[in-house]
Structures are given as structure tokens and as C-alpha cells.
Amino acid sequence: MGLKIYTSTPRAFLPSHLPDSVFFTRDMGLTCHALRARGAESMVVMPDGPSAKKHPDIIRTDLDCMSDADWWRAHELDGVVLGSWALPRFTPVARAIKESGAKLILRCDSGSPYSQWQSTPWEVLYRNYLVPRYRGKSAPHALVQSMIRTVVGYHPGYLVRKVVEHMTYADVILNETPLGVRALRNLLYRYGGGELAGRVVYAPHPVNCGKTSRATYAKKRKIIAVGRWNSYQKNTPLLMRSLLRVLAEHPKYEAHLFGAGEEACRNGLRGADSQVADRIHIRGVVSNEALQPEYASSQIFFAPSRSESFNIAAAEALCEGCSVVGSAHIFSFQHFISQNSGTLAQRYSVQGMVQALNTEITAWGKSVRDPQRIATSWRGECLASTVAGQIMGYIHNSSIDGE
């Protein structure tokens, strides 16, 4: 008899006005379908809400039920994959799953260290500054909030121990990058001991690509970028200034930008040389399926974000044979270049991004980059079916080796 593994998140994702693909091509939705494809019985458990879409693959309930061990026990599950960000307010959900008898696989983001003690004070201030800025707060408001949060955060008993408590209920803790694994193990070893630290394993965020790579297609001199360009996080001004500089130096190259916030991209072209600006194509929102051939025909995926927990689009691009350019301070990008598959900007500036893009253009021109090798390597890590197989293996086994 096959395994029965549900995925769950304590937030009411997928509102009724959005297509199913918004949820089921990533995160818990994609994991659910990947588990099904490998023979497991799977559903997604999420809270209900006034605008939440009803879907045959989703069990809508409320947080009270999700915090009740008897509710989970009634489903007779072998395991649950929980995406809760290890937030203390969702600890009752993790506890209930564990007490129900199901194995709890906890998925954690990998954007940065989990404790302020693992970073310099300036890095901490910057990260804490970004959070309110992402929420639309003014720079002065964000600075004050960052200073308060930073001071409070240096007292582990306030937050870190609560995060560690949440993780103690997990049988396995998945982290999306090797650097994230190391940082999280260090934290858990300090506050929870070696056995808890040993539950942390590397499992990348699953990506949704076809079974066969199109990376054998002829790569064009094309840079691709995908993101929410009206978001402070994605840093559209840096994107546009960097591209204008690089394309001016490389007249045979063009750039294609996908995602919401087209007006922010157009604003970055004002006053630019038309011969350069005409080679930056702002194409808006397209389906995940439509992006795959765009990745396959591109050489470089460019993401000058201020921060990322993973960047799913970058992983999808790698699976189609792109190399990546991003910032050296982001954990996931440090891993993304590890297989002769990209260059990082050592300085977070236009000059730093331009240097990194120029390095990649030179690497492609000298055939240093092998798209088929890049695609094969990253598909072996990131395809949803591969990650689902890892999860099923952890459910089958009563212990992990921590490697």
C-alpha cells in the first residue's frame, strides 16, 4: 500500500481570482502533485478564508483544527510536509502533527542565518531594515524598526529559543541550500543539541520543468530576468541600470524581462539610448509553461535582488541550461554558481553587477559554460520528482544520517 503524505501551510494561499498554476507550480502545491506522481496519496491542507479558492486537491479548514492532534490523526497519515517558516505562532500546528503519530517533515527557508549571532551587526541591521521596506514602510520607519529589532534579536530567549522549540517537533528539517543547512545546524546544536542539529538535511525547493531538458537548443545571446518588478526586494532600478550598461558594451546581446511591474521597468528606460533600450524587451506576466522555452534559449539568468529565500525562477533557469548572475550575499546564489554555472557580484552595486554579467558573457563566448551539463546537474537536484523522492525516503526510514 502506498504512502499517505499530505503537505500543509498555515496560511490561506490561492485566492479564488488566481489560476491554480499560481499555487501548484511551486511550494506545497507542487510538492503535493510531485508526491502523487511518485505514487503517494497526497492533499494540501490550508486554512480557509472568504476569498480562498475551493479545489479538489486542497483540504480547507481552520488553524484550530490544524492545531488539534485528533484532527490530523483522523486522516491516518504516514507523514506531513509542513511549510511554516518555523514561526513560533504556528508551533501548535507542528506539535499537533507530531502528536498525531505522523512523521513531520519541516521545510525551512534559506535566505540568511537563523540567528543574529551568525552575522555581523551591519548585516543584521540591513536584513532587519529590508523587512519593513518590503511591506511598503518609509525609510525612516524601517530604520527605527531595524534598530529595535536588532537590539531585541541579540537576546536568544526572546525569539531564537521559540524557533528552536518549533523545530524540535520535526522528524526531518529540510533546508534549501548547503549554506543554510550549516547555519541552521549550528543554531540548533547551540540551543537544542547534536541530535536535533542532525535532523537538518539539504533539499532544494522543487521546481516545475519538463522531464527532458531543452538545453540542447541553440542558446541565443540573451539575458533573462523574472520577478515582481514593482517590488522593492527585486531592485528594478539596479536591474535596469546594469542592463543598460552591459548591453551598451555588448551590442549583439538583448534582455527579456518577465513578470508584473512592467511600468517600473519602462521607467528605467527613460532617457536611455534607443539603440540600447530597444534591445530590452519588457514582456510582462506569462505562464510558467511559457517561461521554459525562454530559459532554454537564454544564456544568462540575472537577478539583482536585495534578498532571496531561494529564487525559484533561477533554479528553473539552471534546469534549462542557463547560468546565473546575482549577489554574493545571498545563500542560494552562492550555491547556484557552484557547478560552473554562474558568477556573483562581489559588490552590491551597478559596477558589481556589470562586472559579473561581463564575466558571464565572456565565459559563454569562450565556451566555458556548457548548457547541457548545467541542466543535467541541476535537474538532478531540483526537479520536483527528485525532491518528492527524498521526502518519501525520509518517511520510509525511521532515522536520517544528517548528511
197-218 pLDDT, tens digit each: 999 999 999 998 876 666 566 7
Closest C-alpha among 287, 284, 292 to residue 227: 284
pLDDT of residue 363: 98
The pair phi, psi for residue 307, each rounded to 5°, is -160, 160
Mean pLDDT of 275-284: 97
Dig out the grid coordinates for 83 from the structure. 511549510
Q: Is the pLDDT of residue 357 over 50?
A: yes
State the pLDDT at residue 400.
55
Mean pLDDT for the chain overall = 91
Alpha-carbon distance of 381 to 377, in angstroms, equals 7
Banded pLDDT at 384 (limits 50, 70, 90): very high
Instruction: Give pTM, 2 decimals.
Output: 0.89
For residue 295, pLDDT over 80 is answered with yes
Would you place residue 131 in the very low, low, confident or very high pLDDT band (cuts 50, 70, 90)? confident
Lowest mean pLDDT among 33-42, 84-93, 111-120, 135-144: 111-120
Residue of higher predicted confidence among 384 and 149: 384
CB 263 within 8 A of CB 282: no
Q: Binning pLDDT at 50, 70 and 90, where does residue 121 land?
A: confident
86: left (phi over 0), alpha (psi -120 to 50) or beta: left
Answer with the residue of higher pLDDT: 155 or 356.
356
Query: pLDDT at position 151, please?
Result: 82
Nearest to 6 by CA among 53, 54, 41: 41
CATH topology of domain 222-381: Rossmann fold (3.40.50)
- What whole-number distance in Å separates Cα of residue 168 and Cα of residue 391? 18
Residues 109 and 309: beta-carbon distance below 8 Å: yes
Rounded CA gap, 10 and 67, in Å? 10
What does the alpha-carbon distance between residue 107 and residue 82 come to, in Å, rounded to a whole number?
Answer: 6
Q: Binning pLDDT at 50, 70 and 90, where does residue 147 land?
A: confident
Amino acid at 401: D
The pLDDT score that the predictor gives to residue 1 is: 61
User: What pLDDT is attached to residue 361?
Assistant: 98
Under a CB-based contact definition with an 8 Å cutoff, are residues 317 and 297 in contact?
Answer: no
Q: What is the pLDDT of residue 156?
A: 63
Q: How many residues does the chain have?
A: 403
Residue intervals in the chain for CATH 3.40.50.2000: 5-113+156-206+383-396, 222-381
Domain 5-113+156-206+383-396, CATH number (from 3.40.640.10, 1.10.3720.10, 3.40.50.2000, 3.50.50.60):
3.40.50.2000
For residue 118, pLDDT over 90 is answered with no
- Name the packing angle between helices 160-168 and 178-192 (round to 10°): 100
